[in-house]
Amino acid sequence: MSRAVRINATMDEELLRRVDAFAAARYEDRSTAVRQLVDFALRELHKRDALDAYRGGRVTLREFARTLGLDLWSAHDLLRSEGVAVAQGERSETRAAMEAALSSTTRT
């Protein structure tokens, strides 16, 4: 585990009240709650960026999985749970590839 470093942060009173409520509900101190919230937010933003890159066709399924530290099936499940189509490309391209694969397996 890395060394803990003390920081100062300024936030409005309403946000601080929400952080304190989060901490109290989990029987944590304020510092622990802030660490948990920042960690969660950063992971979610990283996931959102990866999802956007996959949706935009900028990364493959393998690259998407590697970016998030997931195996292919877990990446596939995550995409489905987020409502993202896993197959990319035109339907005609997919159909042609499937037909070619099927015809090559029936020849052997």
- Give per-residue pLDDT as tens, 9-67: 999 999 999 999 999 999 999 999 999 999 999 999 999 999 999 999 899 899 999 99
Task: Give the number of other Cβ atoms within 10 Å of residue 78's Cβ.
Answer: 19
pTM across the whole model: 0.71
Domain boundaries, the chain: 13-107
Would you say 19 and 35 are in contact if contact means Cβ atoms under 8 Å apart?
no
- Which ranges in the chain belong to alpha helices (H)? 13-25, 30-55, 61-68, 72-81, 91-107
Q: Would you state the pLDDT for residue 86?
A: 84
Which value, in Å, is the radius of gyration of the alpha carbons in the chain?
A: 22
Task: Give the number of other Cβ atoms within 10 Å of residue 87's Cβ.
Answer: 8
- 105 vs 24: CA distance, rounded Å: 61
